Structure 1
Amino acid sequence: MAVEIASLLRLFEPRASDPESAAQVAALAADSTKWPNAHRLFDEVRRRWLATTDPLRQGQYVFEELCLKTLYNETAAIDPFDSDSPYYVVPCAIGRARQVGVPVQRVLDIVAPGS
């Protein structure tokens, strides 16, 4: 799932309302040695989410949070996020695609190649 998460983040990065956050999360996702830092970055993304009322930013942050939770849990951390976090990545990615005008088929090509 990590490869798919990194690909989804790259897919949405050009349409990010907060390019700095998008770049940070995408860089972390692309390097498994950085995944232990996902909890710290999650806290930053959550701070940004709570500070905005912009629906595009909120959509970006919700998706980034799910990705960060999933990657952090892959580190076998002693303080993991909810174990069901990966379940929500794909539905949220589909919603995000619709929100920013990315064809949903591009999401499906990443998460279910050949569909």
Structure 2
Amino acid sequence: MKQMRLQAPMYTGFELRTKRTRKREFLEQMERVVPWKELVALIEPYAPKAGPKGGRPPFAVEKLLRIYFLQQWFGLSDPAVEEALYDTPLLARFVGLDLGVDVVPDEST
């Protein structure tokens, strides 16, 4: 019987080598040039709030905005962006999701 080995599924910051991909460079540039705080301030008054009856709590506006931008930049549908957030740690980090803790918005969100 083979011994199972532990493998980190996500980028941990301790890798010896990482490649500067075009996607990584593009997202780093968008992090710098998109006025995230200003856009969130414009959208926040219209975002859904938690209702008095409970229900599913709404996601943070900035996370949903970042997901929307990813969809536009990379031509992803709602189901495709949900899968991409699970499959691509770079995209999950850009959105601000920690897959070990946070809930990824599903395609109907």
TM bin, normalised by shorter chain, reads under 0.3
Higher helix residue share: 1
Indicate the structure (1 or 2) with the bigger Cα radius of gyration.
2
Query: What is the TM-score with the length of structure 1 in the denominator?
Result: 0.25
Higher relative contact order (CA 8 A, sep 6+): 1
